[in-house]
A and B are shown apart, each in its own frame.
Chain A
Amino acid sequence: MADSTKASQNPLEDVALLRTVLDAIPMRAFWKDRESRYLGCNTLFAHDAGLERPEQLVGKNDYDMPWKKEESDFFVSVDRRVMESGKAEYHILEPQLRADGTQTWVDTNKVPLRNAKGEVIGILGTYEDVTARKAEEEELRKNRDKLEELVRARTSELEVASNQLREEVKQRESSQAERDRLQQQIIEAQKRAIAELSTPIIPVMEGILVMPLVGSVDSMRAKEIMRSVLTGIGQHRAKVVILDITGVPLVDSGVAGHLNKTIQAARLKGARTIVSGISDAVAETIVDLGIDWTGIVTLSDLHTSLLAALDSVGFKLVREQR
């Protein structure tokens, strides 16, 4: 009580003390009337506004200040809002162009000022310069954005790459399947062509047929051979069929079995079969394999076979005497 009495007794001293306090804090401070005209400020604020001393500010408004017009518009609109609502607003982030030409960011608090009756008669504002903090934040945000952008780019790169890979694999698979299909088609076509070409029946003379076999004999070809032989016997009323196997690279039990069947079927149609053209190697193999061809007439070459066939149908080759 004594202190307050003393203070009221010496108002000049109070004002000086207040000024000292206001200039000692590291913040800008200002106060305005209801029309947003400046009533006072501390020295830091005066400097921001390009003035040397706070007294030079009194009676001016924001549009007299160095800040931009749109900044002033914003300051005044916030003043009005605070005075009308009677509620303080804290940490308003605002841009502010200073007298020295620097563009800054300030963190502002605005508090309504009231008279003894509680009526709002103006506002008290304080702010601090957060340009550096803002710049740091901006830098951080930029870095984060950059990182995110990098991650996005890398992700989409990876996606593109993996899509390409998937696509390539798909293409390769489909082209491989296509190749396999084509190859199979070619093989089938060739098989048919070879089957037709490779079982030619040659009627060399009345009652004698020759069938030269070339290449491997598989079960499919064996059927063709038998069919050709049987049709040939019927067509040419053949008594003897010469199966020439000079061109068959090897006779295994399968081939031997197929030939046996053909020979038996020919016999049922009334024709004898001579197998000719068994090479030494094939003969050796047949013996080692244990193939029993004892009931089958085999002769070494086509010439001998033809002579034997002619003989059996009652022909003789005679050289004409000239």
Chain B
Amino acid sequence: MIHARTDAKRLADSLGFAIPDAVKIATVVSELARNIVAYAGKGTITLEVVAEPRVGIRISARDDGPGIADVAHILSGKYKSRTGMGLGIVGSKRLVDRFEIDSGPGRGTTIVAVKFMGNR
């Protein structure tokens, strides 16, 4: 987890992201990694550089865990997880420019988040 967010921070810094944005990217990686560890046990986080429409970083988090039964409920922000804050997914969504979640019971969870440079 620590490696994942250190890598994310380093990648963001090397691309020339502003410090707050780099911290946000690292935080999103941290949140998604925490979710994987907490709910699925293991999974993968992939970092990619995107060039279109602007330079950015795409974070893909994928696991084969139990999946999320009610994605809409989670995204509404009313959900309180057992880790307390219940902000992992909703908060991450607010930190990035694009956020897609594909999940369902028994088919794991895939989250793709993109943060572009120089926005927000």
Contacts and interface: CB of A to CB of B under 8 A. Distances in A.
Decide whether A and B are members of one complex.
yes
Interface string B1-40: 1100100010000000001101110110011001000000
Interface string B80-95: 0001111110111011
A288 B94 contact: yes
A52 to B, nearest CB: 101
A289 B95 contact: yes
Contact of B31 (A218, A249, A252): A252
Interface in A271-290: 280-282, 284-285, 288-290
Contact of A250 (B27, B83, B85, B86): B27
A280 B20 contact: yes
Contacts of A282: 23
Contacts of B5: 216, 250
A93 B19 CA distance: 100
A213 interface: no
Among A251, A253, A256, A289, max chain B CB count under 10 A is at A253
B66 interface: no
Interface residues of B, number: 26
Contacts of A253: 31, 34, 83-88, 91
A225 to B, nearest CB: 16
Contact of B95 (A249, A256, A260, A288): A288
A257 interface: yes
A234 interface: no
A58 interface: no
Interface in A206-255: 216, 218, 249-254
B1 A285 contact: no
- Main secondary structure on A side of the interface with B: helix
A254 B83 contact: yes
A282 B24 CA distance: 8
A290 B94 contact: yes
Nearest to B18: A281
A182 B76 CA distance: 46
Given A288-B95, A290-B87, A290-B94, A250 B30 contact: yes
A297 interface: no
A252 B5 CA distance: 11
29 contacts: A218-B1, A249-B23, A250-B27, A250-B30, A252-B30, A252-B34, A253-B31, A253-B34, A253-B84, A253-B85, A253-B88, A253-B91, A254-B83, A280-B20, A281-B24, A285-B23, A285-B24, A285-B95, A288-B24, A288-B91, A288-B95, A289-B31, A289-B87, A289-B91, A289-B95, A290-B91, A290-B94, A291-B85, A291-B87
Interface of B: 1-2, 5, 9, 19-20, 22-24, 26-27, 30-31, 34, 77, 83-88, 90-92, 94-95
Instruction: Please provide the 4 A-B residue pairs with the shortest distance between their CB atoms, ordered closest to farther.
Output: A289-B91, A253-B85, A281-B23, A281-B20
